Structure 1
């Protein structure tokens, strides 16, 4: 048994290595990489690695759920945050569009309005309404246990998107679909190094606490600066809660307390755009006096790049609909689903922003 297990592990490792090699050569094909290729034709920079998978597999049999045809199914989608954020608007619309395309019998949608207790009750309500498969965009990495237990009691599979849960894959949920957030932080750091020539004082506008997106985007950025640009000093880290108004408030405070800041890394575009407003009000030129790099890829941020008020944007792809329903179909078709399915992300800077504006969300 031990020999078989080691052999299987080696085979999986070899398969992943082969996949990575094909991706590097441009020979791999997936929904995510197709999008990246299409967007590259508009001038956007593709991610360093296209859609990939990692972690042990989860099948219908091991998860213990009955087989289901999505065309006869009731599917529930739980959105976590208010849809004033372009990322959330694009994400929800993508789920709705793909559900219609696939021919899902009925799609239930809820919005937790950034309240964990509401997200829990939303999921429980969808289960009461007969949801047979759930797609969940978690508000936080912790706290959804009551909802997950309710789904498990009814043997309803759960796919999580865009934020990871601190729970057990193939037990509490099937798999995580999302970006490599550490890699996003590293790519943001590389963009910051390029636009600042590796020198200056950086403030980080942190995302909301309690989720892996903030933790990973911070780690990737900080570690990359330490390794590649010791001349870029991080002088402040303060949460802007992924909100534009909060990002503006924090930037206003930092302008007073740290007037020598020369660069800002915002862990989403909304906070970065809030920083732009604060800097302009203080008589500073964003994009010039203070360099700005953020993560998301919203049209407003890419437009700020076109306007010269921004320096780089690393996309966090919100278009999960095709990947989520393709993963569900594979799951119900008997295939093993990896613990982590990583979607591809683009990047924007002054060289491609104008040509790529139409591809932003």
Structure 2
């Protein structure tokens, strides 16, 4: 009986073994073309689409105030280069020193729904309403180079740029030291920048805060020259068109371009810039440092135009939801004739 049972089990096992190994593998189920993709691939595609969306380039709208000087051209180039290096899509519009054009550019950025708006304002005043429009559109704002005079500072995230007041202070301290042994009235001519602009206001205030310590130092002539070489040349001519005993002994120019124009007018008048008239400027362009090395300029206060990298980093930080300081200032220096030769070759503008 046991042998019969073993025989039946053996036949059954043999049959099962042949069914598993003969006739090839059972055909795989046919998948319909219209059927959904396997879950793993579907999940991967969803993740990739989300990643692509997250990595969409930041769009930055930049309202540049103009192209009035070598400093401004270097500033624009720095922003453009930094945007390209950072992978940020930059939309830049030049206002040609017109606040009206800046407002037009900003409204176009709002319509484009850019991610961040940066503004280099022509003048300090008149920004409250347009900044409120930007805020209502939900677009963060960065103020570059200059400042805006608004009561509600929440209308912008941060300001990136020089301490313009301190630049005036540095110019004033240099002059006090330079003229420490001079006696009698010291007449100072001042070439202001664009009227109402932050550099013109703050550099002038900083300079005055220092020379006020010397009663014999008097600003006898002060006229806006719009930060341009041509206007600097023209206004300086008028400064010198006075009797010799009323001519200035010092010129404080709010930027290099005006100083360079003024130097030409000083030479036209038969005077030696840097000797007959002490010339102090602000910016630190290569051309100004060359004149400093040649002795035609006496001191140049540095104002760094290369703000592009800081602006791009700020845009990234803002889009990542991080908090930024309300003001960011780059390190800067003052150059004298003794140092001019060593720094002129290092200048990028």
The question of a shared fold, defined as TM-score above 0.5 by the shorter chain, is answered with yes
User: Once the two structures are superposed, what CA deviation does each residue of 1:262-320 show, in whole Å capped at 9, x if it has no partner?
Assistant: 11000111111111011000000001110100111111111110111100000111111
- Alignment pair present for 1:99 and 2:99: no
C-alpha distance in 2 between matches for 1:117 and 1:326: 28
Seen in structure 2, the aligned counterparts of structure 1 residues 332 and 95 have a Cα distance that, compared at 3 Å, is same
Which residue number corresponds to residue 218 of structure 2?
A: 233
User: Once the two structures are superposed, what CA deviation does each residue of 1:171-192 show, in whole Å capped at 9, x if it has no partner?
Assistant: 3211111111111001011222
| Contact residue 95 and residue 101 of structure 2 kept, 8 A | yes
SS of the aligned residue for 1:208 comes to: coil
Q: 1:211 Cα shift?
A: 2.1
Q: 1:147 Cα shift?
A: 3.4
- Alignment pair present for 1:357 and 2:348: no
**Greater shift after overlay, 180-189 or 202-211?**
202-211
C-alpha distance in 2 between matches for 1:194 and 1:169: 40
Seen in structure 2, the aligned counterparts of structure 1 residues 149 and 198 have a Cα distance that, compared at 3 Å, is farther
User: Once the two structures are superposed, what CA deviation does each residue of 1:23-64 show, in whole Å capped at 9, x if it has no partner?
Assistant: xxxxxxxxxxxxxxxxxxxxxxxxxxxxxxxxxxxxxxxxxx
- Alignment pair present for 1:201 and 2:187: yes
C-alpha distance in 1 between matches for 2:341 and 2:279: 17
1:219 to 193, 198, 205: 205
| Contact residue 198 and residue 232 of structure 1 kept, 8 A | no
C-alpha distance in 1 between matches for 2:181 and 2:135: 50
- Alignment pair present for 1:77 and 2:68: no
| Contact residue 244 and residue 270 of structure 1 kept, 8 A | yes
Which residue number corresponds to residue 150 of structure 1?
A: 133
C-alpha distance in 2 between matches for 1:250 and 1:220: 22
Seen in structure 2, the aligned counterparts of structure 1 residues 258 and 267 have a Cα distance that, compared at 3 Å, is farther
C-alpha distance in 1 between matches for 2:336 and 2:256: 14
C-alpha distance in 1 between matches for 2:238 and 2:314: 44
- Alignment pair present for 1:188 and 2:171: yes
Which residue number corresponds to residue 97 of structure 2?
A: 114
2:280 to 293, 313, 318: 293
Which residue number corresponds to residue 48 of structure 1?
A: none
Per chain length, whose mean CA-contact separation is higher, i.e. which structure has more relative contact order (CA < 8 Å, sep 6+)?
1
Which residue number corresponds to residue 164 of structure 1?
A: 147
Q: Which runs of 5+ in 2 are unaligned?
A: 1-52
User: Once the two structures are superposed, what CA deviation does each residue of 1:187-246 show, in whole Å capped at 9, x if it has no partner?
Assistant: 01122223333643211111211122211111111110112x333332222221212111
C-alpha distance in 1 between matches for 2:80 and 2:175: 36
SS of the aligned residue for 1:171 comes to: helix
Q: 1:170 Cα shift?
A: 4.9
Q: 1:258 Cα shift?
A: 6.0
SS of the aligned residue for 1:278 comes to: helix
Which residue number corresponds to residue 255 of structure 1?
A: 240
From the CA coordinates, give the structure whose radius of gyration is larger.
2
**TM-score, length-scaled by structure 1:** 0.76
Aligned residues: 291
**Greater shift after overlay, 321-330 or 173-182?**
321-330
Alignment of 1:18-37 (within 5 A): none
| Alignment RMSD (CA, Å) | 1.9
Seen in structure 2, the aligned counterparts of structure 1 residues 144 and 170 have a Cα distance that, compared at 3 Å, is closer
Q: 1:69 Cα shift?
A: 6.2
Seen in structure 2, the aligned counterparts of structure 1 residues 69 and 279 have a Cα distance that, compared at 3 Å, is farther
1:128 to 102, 111, 134: 111
**TM-score, length-scaled by structure 2:** 0.78
C-alpha distance in 2 between matches for 1:288 and 1:194: 16
